[in-house]
Amino acid sequence: MGTLGSKVSMAGSRVDKDAGENSRLEQSGERVVPFEQTKVAIGDAFQIQTEQAEVRYYVKLIGYLRAKSVLVTMPEADGAVCYVREGQAFVVRFFSGKNAYAFTANVLKASSVPFPHMHLSYPPQVRGLVVRTGERVPVRIICAVAMREDTRTVTAAGVLTNLSVSGALLSSKTRLGSKDDLLSIKFRMHIREIEFLTSIDAAIRSVSQDVGGEFLHGVQFAGLSDEAAIALTAFVYQTLADASR
């Protein structure tokens, strides 16, 4: 009880510090809100990462009780449940509505009965950033593009020059298709020190050429997985936050 009380006091101090930064956060598009106001839903995916390592896992929200705990499934790797210890700290990230959220938490209790699950410490507040669906950030990310040509699949190289949660601008030396054609775009994003490799289906919405003859394809993402949505949101979040400093 004493140890847990100490952790709560430390968390309270961090919250006071965060409150003093509210003005700066608002200017950068960030905000601090109570966890229960995030409108997170049962079954939503959370990305958790240990504070000492770059390893990431995805778990699902089972439920939460205000000021008590957040209940999630246990992380898994290669089909096996991972070992977590009580007191272990995680950085937790999730996406709700048009917002990306993050908070830190400790494992209060882990159990395999009646199924693998763990209780995380309830965050008094979480940091959030509104990520507008069409808000794009400038990037230069090399990608591989797969498309259907007659009865076969062909690949080409391209560069993403801007990126949002809903789409991107894709530059290539050759035309990759016409409006409404479907593509599969494979690329890597670096979120802090983490490299995230993803393949996203997209539809071409516009095609033009720049003065240098490069073909510019405006693409809209389709059928994003929870994992890809969280990663894209975190990447845009990070880029916007870095630009505001």
User: Based on the domain organization, do 6 and 124 belong to the same domain?
Assistant: yes
Question: 182-191 and 137-149: which strand pairing?
Answer: antiparallel
User: Based on the domain organization, do 58 and 172 belong to the same domain?
Assistant: no
Place 230 in a pLDDT band, splitting at 50, 70 and 90.
confident
E strand or H helix at 21, and its extent? Answer: none
User: Based on the domain organization, do 9 and 100 belong to the same domain?
Assistant: yes
Q: What is the pTM assigned to this prediction? A: 0.57
Write out the residue range of the structural domain in which residue 48 sits: 2-130
Predicted pLDDT at 29: 58
Lowest mean pLDDT among 49-58, 64-73, 211-220: 49-58
Predicted pLDDT at 58: 87
- Please tell me the total count of domains within the chain: 2
Rounded-to-integer distance, Cα 236 and Cα 69, Å:
29
User: Based on the domain organization, do 106 and 24 belong to the same domain?
Assistant: yes
Say whether pLDDT at 66 is over 70. yes
- Is the Cα torsion angle 24, 28, 29, 32 positive or negative in sign? negative
